Amino acid sequence: MSIVNRIKPIIADVISRQYNQTVTAADLTINSTKPEFTGDYTLVLFAFVKSLKKSPEQLGQEIGDSLLKAEPALFASYNVIKGFLNLVIADQFWLDFLNTGYDNQDFGKKPADGRKKMVEYSSPNTNKPLHLGHLRNNFLGWSVAEIMKTNGHTVYKTCISNDRGIHICKSMVAWLRYANGATPASTGSKGDHFVGDYYVMFGNVMKKEIAALIESGLSKEDAEKQAPIMKEAQQMLVDWESGDEAVNNLWKTMNAWVYSGFEITYKRIGSDFDKTYYESQTYLLGKKAVEDGLAKNVFYKKEDGSVWIDLTADGLDEKVVQRKDGTAVYITQDIGLAEQREQEFGCEQTFYVVADEQNYHFKVLKLIAEKLGIPGASGITHMSYGMVELPTGRMKTREGTVVDADDMIEEMVNVARQKTEELGKVKDFSEAELKELYDIIALGALKFFLLRVDPKKRMIFNPEESIDFHGFTGPFIQFIHARIKSILRKEAPVKSADAGSGLLPAEKSLIIKLEQYPTVVEQAATEYNPSLLAIYCYELAKAYSSFYTEHSVLTAESAEKKQLRLRLSQLTGIVIAKGMALLGIKVPERM
């Protein structure tokens, strides 16, 4: 139990008995005391001033006196600043916490609670490689899933592969026109890069064809419809859906090239899935949902045969759920898949990690699923996130200006190599050790930079800024961990040794920060927000850096202080490693 959860019922009981007024722990607001004031935790008093008819200062002094009397072993002192009661927790509490848990490898991990959740992320199109936006998506989805697991939930990671549609046919048409039988193997290319090049080629050819048609007298709108290469792609989609063998074989071949490329990237970034669904196998699932909706009068059919739902009473608009030709739209595919996954896994909540451009789509999806009575519909949760841009602006795949994920990773490795060599502290590393270290630093920097920002916010990614051994970065935290491991390699704490009875300010600040780790993990899981954990890991590393600057560990002023600081170092190392692992980031033993 965290210190805050421990002291809340104590304070609530004191107030209830002292003022004959029922107060529960939930009624209390307790925050960390601001650095400029003396105290560890602060009780906000304003909520009780009016009902108890006392000034904030008087109320704070009365409650503070009662707490010292009721729990002298827990509360050491207090002070009142306007409407805030600042409480100082006794050193012995912090020492007991450290001495009983400094080597706890399961610190922050909750027991299984039986709750089942699903996180769907990545969801790439099979016409191009993963890009920088996919990296944020993968890192967010994977991290949220792992944080929820640590919080006691059973979590399933899933991916929907968007492997059908006009965008896939564009790559196929361009390959048929211009490849002359080339393959990834014959060109020495990674499969997803190879196919993606033909998607870009399609866009370039189409631009030229449209320009020529406009020059011949067509309007821009008509030219876009009449472009020969687009008409070829549209016909190919028709042929694919009608089961044309040649088109189907080419589709299977080119998708297989892309999947082999994806697998390499997923392995490199540490992304994995418990199950992958394929749109080519799920796009017909929505047809049953449409039939059910018509039978329940949730949907209605227009004269042209298209099927709709009227959501104007819910503050939205009318939405088509099946085209007049009988084909499903994305929303009905998603409804069908949601129902299938609920039957397979029975999760109470499903998180869709999708960019904020689809906010409206997921409002509609949840609303329709609820109206259809699909089990688990109330648990449909859009984990919306902002787009990632570079200092040069937004990326556009069709124009070939997208930042490829693999290229970004290699650039990060190069920056990691350059900055590490500038520090000149790895001369005793072998080539193999250096290669591993540069990978750990590069991916750590990339993941941390993309995860340290609240998911809902848009962000600009700067590779140079992300690898700074002294800033708000992954490498800074990795460096602190390596420093701790270096100390512990020289001497480890002794379990039976005395660690003293008093705490200096930097020691206490570090223990307080360590004690908060389980609470942060719980909050990050509840809010599905890995940035809370990223910020915590940075603040913990910074607290250790301050502690280490002020106090020697191995040459401490006494044997007791040495044991105390070794225990502080060990638990800090454990928490940094655990917290960063939940972000998908490795921490090196040495740097």
Reading the block at residue 172, the tokens are: 């196929």
* Residue 535 in this model has a pLDDT that exceeds 80: yes
- Tell how strand 307-310 and strand 300-301 pair up: antiparallel
Reading the block at residue 422, the tokens are: 């500038």
Q: In which band, very low, low, confident or very high, does the pLDDT at 398 lie, cut at 50, 70 and 90?
A: very low
Nearest one of 398, 402, 334, 366 to 160, comparing CA atoms: 334
* Residue 395 in this model has a pLDDT that exceeds 50: no
Predicted model pTM: 0.92
* Residue 345 in this model has a pLDDT that exceeds 50: yes
Give the rounded percent of residues in the chain with a pLDDT score beyond 70. 98
Q: In which band, very low, low, confident or very high, does the pLDDT at 560 lie, cut at 50, 70 and 90?
A: very high
Q: Where are the beta strands (DSSP E) in 329-455?
A: 349-355, 380-385, 388-389
pLDDT of res. 289:
85
> What domains appear along the chain, each with residue ranges and CATH number?
3-89 (3.30.1360.70), 165-279 (no CATH), 405-582 (1.10.730.10)
* Residue 399 in this model has a pLDDT that exceeds 60: no
* Residue 390 in this model has a pLDDT that exceeds 80: no
- Crossing angle of helices 517-526 and 132-150, rounded to 10°: 120
Are 374 and 342 in contact by the 8 Å Cβ rule? The answer is: yes
| DSSP summary character for residue 111 | P
* Residue 509 in this model has a pLDDT that exceeds 70: yes
Please give the Cα distance from 119 to 323 (Å, whole number). Answer: 29
Please give the Cα distance from 551 to 375 (Å, whole number). Answer: 57
Coil vs helix vs strand at 418: helix
pLDDT tens track for 410-461:
999 999 999 888 887 778 899 999 999 999 999 999 999 999 999 999 988 8
pLDDT tens track for 75-117:
999 999 999 999 999 999 999 999 999 999 999 999 999 999 9
Give 270's strand partners: none
- Tell how strand 307-310 and strand 318-322 pair up: antiparallel
Contacts of 162 (CB under 8 A, 6+ apart): 123, 124, 125, 126, 279
How does the average pLDDT of the chain come out, rounded?
Answer: 93
Q: In which band, very low, low, confident or very high, does the pLDDT at 467 lie, cut at 50, 70 and 90?
A: confident
Contacts of 523 (CB under 8 A, 6+ apart): 529, 532
Query: Which phi and psi (to 5°) does residue 206 adopt?
Result: -65, -40
- List b or e across 74-85, with b for residues whose CB sees 16 or more CB atoms inside 10 angstroms: bbeebbbbebbb
Please give the Cα distance from 86 to 167 (Å, whole number). Answer: 60
* Residue 401 in this model has a pLDDT that exceeds 70: no
Are 544 and 574 in contact by the 8 Å Cβ rule? The answer is: no
Q: Give, rounded to a whole angstrom, the gap between the first and last alpha carbons of the chain.
A: 35
**Polymer length in residues for the chain:** 591
Q: What integer is the mean pLDDT of 219-228?
A: 94
